[in-house]
Chain A
Amino acid sequence: MNLLEFYDLKYSYNGQQNILRGVSGKLEQGKLYAILGPSGCGKTTLLSLLGGLDIPTSGQILFNGKDIRKTGLAAHRRNHVSFIFQSYNLIDYLTPMENVALTSKLPPLPVLERLGLTKEESKRNVLKLSGGQQQRVAIARALASEAPVILADEPTGNLDEDTAWDIAKILKESAHQMNKCVVAVTHSNELAKQADLVFRLKKGELIMQ
């Protein structure tokens, strides 16, 4: 069943520069989607629209068949989606466990351990973790939330090749084992190789590969 659908999405800055020119697609639970494309082609904009962070110039986004604008964008962000960012975006005065607990009432430690962090690392200041470990915490935060959609913006962009490979595998496993709909905007071929479906955004149009 389609979890997230978007039809004829158009987006332009100040009514002039058309970033998206009628983009449509259907996303299902339990799958990892990769969206590729050159810088500035509108990948992050598409992700922002799907996550309810911004409003399209025209077009419609449905979650479980309901228009997210009618549900409310804040409620959509709170209940339906969670984000993973390129620069991890962890709260620096909270430990990894507390960062995960931001989005979940479940015990955070099992999720962190599943992503490879030890108990000791999970209680450390996040700034004392490596980049890969910080991104694992960010993924754990997204996974721990009850949101069925995970939107990842360049999740491996700041990581070395080996770590990027690990993260890509984690995202794929999360989609398959936790039945999440994971949408990753990326330049990474490793991540694209792990994806169940790959889209390419070119000249404001979305093409399935």
Chain B
Amino acid sequence: MNFFKRAIRYCWRQKLRSTLLFFIFTLLATASLIALSAGHATAEETSQVKKTVGASIHIEIDKNNQSNYGEGIQNGNGVTYQYNGDYITQDVIDAIAKVDGVVNYSAQSDGGYWGAAMDFEYFSGSFNIDYTGGHGQSVPYTVTLNSELSSNFLNGTYTLEDGRHITPEDSYAVLISKELADKNGRSVGDSITMYDLDSDSENAFKIVGIFSGTEGMSKDAMMSDEIPANQGYIDMNSYNEIFHRTATELGSLDVYVESAENVQDILKTIQNLPELKDKTFTYSTDTENFDFISNPLSSLQTMMDTAVLVIALIGAALITLLLVLWTRGRKKEAGILMAAGKNKREILLQFLSENLLISIPSAAASWGLARLSCSKIGAFLVNQTSSGMTDLHMVIGSADLAAVYGIGILLLILAVLLSATTVIRLQPKEILSQMD
């Protein structure tokens, strides 16, 4: 009878030992597969986040540097200083727009334009003071290159209900709230006319879009300019024209890049553009959204990597301990086999075969178990993290299977060799003398 037949009989007839080992192998392999799969899923998710969650670069003229200001000019209100540094011009914007990875850009000036309603009506506050000389109360408008990238739209406070957003190409375009549009019976394509005190001009704007989100935000407003439903967005070109600015000269620009992964590289490229190099600009990056999502993911990945290592170490120790205990009890058997002419290699192969025979159904069971529990574990991990991700797509890949079973078999072989030394290192006479 060869070692393999003996191994089969041993596994079959030592049912308690075989069952215990089967459960241990299955549990360890399942836990390893899940941890490995979760680790990979987390890494994949992080990579996706890097690709899909954008970041932005904020470019601003350096107003804090005294050397960018000329000598003070005395006037009736005291001394004023004129900024003599560089502005963000159209050339700068065009150069930035061509950089690989830049998906959009926007500049805005909150309250850059104050308009009094000429042919429509604002919602009234508790107090209304007309300081426009009979044109009614003025309301602030945000001047923007790209209203879609305005923070209120990005963070979901406002939603475009009808029409489109303001783009850099627009001229005399306006976005108004749905509440204001409804109050005045205006819709996309209609016009509104406003009076601006600073430029002392009447300006007609075409409504290109209507947004919602201001509902319920007008409570306790003292003045109509504090009521969000009255406030809107106008384009940058009309602003320049109204204020007779011959060229675009922006104080700041937000540049949006396609992924947070390479925001630093894009920033370096932008800083080195000839149109920007040595200009008096300051730069900062914003990866808040990416960090919000990716930091918990990184923690989860570290946790999973640690789990794999801990499972492997504890598993190897546990299996070795059990096998050592069991093999020490098989000295007599080894002695009998040696006396029957079997050599040590054959005995070792039998011990190894027994464990490998149990590991085969364990591998199948762990694969099934890991697959079954993947979605639940994934959902559990998603719930445990504050990353904002909605799904962790855990898949038991062939690479994971190969890694777990490959390393598992190696550890098993080592454990069997280690445990078998308690018997194999003895001479036949020593074993037989301990038998009787």
Contact A87:B436 (CB < 8 A) given known A54-B429, A94-B9: yes
Please tell me if the beta carbons of A102 and B1 are within 8 angstroms of each other in the complex.
yes
- CB-CB contacts below 8 Å: A129-144 with B: 141
Question: Does A90 have its Cβ within 8 Å of any Cβ on chain B?
Answer: yes
Q: Which of A15-23, A26-34, A76-84, A198-206 contacts B (4 or more CB under 8 A)?
A: A76-84
CB distance from A86 to the nearest CB of B (A): 6
Please tell me if the beta carbons of B10 and A93 are within 8 angstroms of each other in the complex.
yes
Question: Most A CB atoms within 10 A — which of B336, B337, B341, B429?
Answer: B341
Please tell me if the beta carbons of B336 and A90 are within 8 angstroms of each other in the complex.
yes
Please tell me if the beta carbons of B336 and A53 are within 8 angstroms of each other in the complex.
no
- CB-CB contacts below 8 Å: B14-40 with A: 14
Residues of chain A within 8 A of B9, CB atoms compared = 93-94, 98
CB distance from A144 to the nearest CB of B (A): 11
Question: Does A207 have its Cβ within 8 Å of any Cβ on chain B?
Answer: no
- Bound complex: CA of A87 vs CA of B428, how far in Å? 16
Please tell me if the beta carbons of A91 and B436 are within 8 angstroms of each other in the complex.
no
Please tell me if the beta carbons of B335 and A102 are within 8 angstroms of each other in the complex.
no
Please tell me if the beta carbons of B336 and A94 are within 8 angstroms of each other in the complex.
no
Question: Does A62 have its Cβ within 8 Å of any Cβ on chain B?
Answer: no
Instruction: Mark A117-129 against chain B: 1 for CB-CB distance below 8 A, else 0.
Output: 0000000000000
Question: Does B432 have its Cβ within 8 Å of any Cβ on chain A?
Answer: yes
Please tell me if the beta carbons of A79 and B436 are within 8 angstroms of each other in the complex.
no
- CB-CB contacts below 8 Å: B396-436 with A: 427-429, 432, 435-436
- Bound complex: CA of A19 vs CA of B343, how far in Å? 28
Instruction: Mark B329-356 against chain A: 1 for CB-CB distance below 8 A, else 0.
Output: 0001101111111110000000000000
Please tell me if the beta carbons of A53 and B339 are within 8 angstroms of each other in the complex.
yes
Contact A94:B341 (CB < 8 A) given known A86-B436, A89-B335: no
Please tell me if the beta carbons of B13 and A93 are within 8 angstroms of each other in the complex.
yes
Please tell me if the beta carbons of A93 and B14 are within 8 angstroms of each other in the complex.
yes
Residues of chain B within 8 A of A79, CB atoms compared = 341
Question: How many A-B contacts at CB < 8 Å in the complex?
Answer: 64
Please tell me if the beta carbons of B432 and A102 are within 8 angstroms of each other in the complex.
no
Closest chain B residue to A88, Cβ basis: B336
Question: Does A106 have its Cβ within 8 Å of any Cβ on chain B?
Answer: no
Question: Does A115 have its Cβ within 8 Å of any Cβ on chain B?
Answer: no
Contact A94:B6 (CB < 8 A) given known A74-B343, A82-B340, A85-B436: yes
Main secondary structure, interface of A, reads loop
Question: Does A179 have its Cβ within 8 Å of any Cβ on chain B?
Answer: no
Please tell me if the beta carbons of A53 and B436 are within 8 angstroms of each other in the complex.
no
Please tell me if the beta carbons of B429 and A78 are within 8 angstroms of each other in the complex.
no
- Bound complex: CA of A48 vs CA of B433, how far in Å? 10
Question: Most A CB atoms within 10 A — which of B13, B337, B429?
Answer: B429
Residues of chain B within 8 A of A147, CB atoms compared = 341
Residues of chain B within 8 A of A145, CB atoms compared = 340-341
Instruction: Mark A18-57 against chain B: 1 for CB-CB distance below 8 A, else 0.
Output: 0000000000000000000000000000001001011000
Partner of A91, one of B336, B343, B427: B336
- Bound complex: CA of A82 vs CA of B336, how far in Å? 11
Please tell me if the beta carbons of B1 and A98 are within 8 angstroms of each other in the complex.
yes
Closest chain B residue to A86, Cβ basis: B436
Question: Does A186 have its Cβ within 8 Å of any Cβ on chain B?
Answer: no
Please tell me if the beta carbons of B1 and A101 are within 8 angstroms of each other in the complex.
yes
- CB-CB contacts below 8 Å: B331-388 with A: 332-333, 335-343
Please tell me if the beta carbons of B1 and A89 are within 8 angstroms of each other in the complex.
no
Question: Does A188 have its Cβ within 8 Å of any Cβ on chain B?
Answer: no
- Bound complex: CA of A53 vs CA of B333, how far in Å? 16
- Bound complex: CA of A74 vs CA of B428, how far in Å? 10
Closest chain A residue to B338, Cβ basis: A77
Question: Does A103 have its Cβ within 8 Å of any Cβ on chain B?
Answer: yes
Please tell me if the beta carbons of B336 and A89 are within 8 angstroms of each other in the complex.
yes
Contact A103:B341 (CB < 8 A) given known A54-B429, A93-B10: yes
Q: What are 6 of the A-B contact pairs (CB < 8 Å)? A: A54-B429, A78-B341, A92-B333, A94-B9, A102-B337, A102-B342
Q: Which 10 A-B pairs have the closest CB atoms?
A: A78-B341, A93-B13, A54-B429, A53-B429, A101-B1, A83-B339, A89-B336, A53-B428, A102-B340, A103-B340
18 additional A-B pairs beyond A78-B342, A78-B343, A103-B340, beta carbons within 8 Å, are A48-B429, A48-B432, A53-B427, A74-B343, A82-B341, A85-B339, A86-B436, A87-B435, A91-B337, A94-B1, A94-B6, A94-B9, A102-B340, A102-B342, A103-B341, A141-B340, A145-B340, A145-B341
User: Which residues of A are in contact with B by a Cβ distance under 8 Å?
Assistant: 48, 51, 53-54, 74, 77-79, 82-83, 85-87, 89-94, 98, 101-103, 141, 145, 147, 153
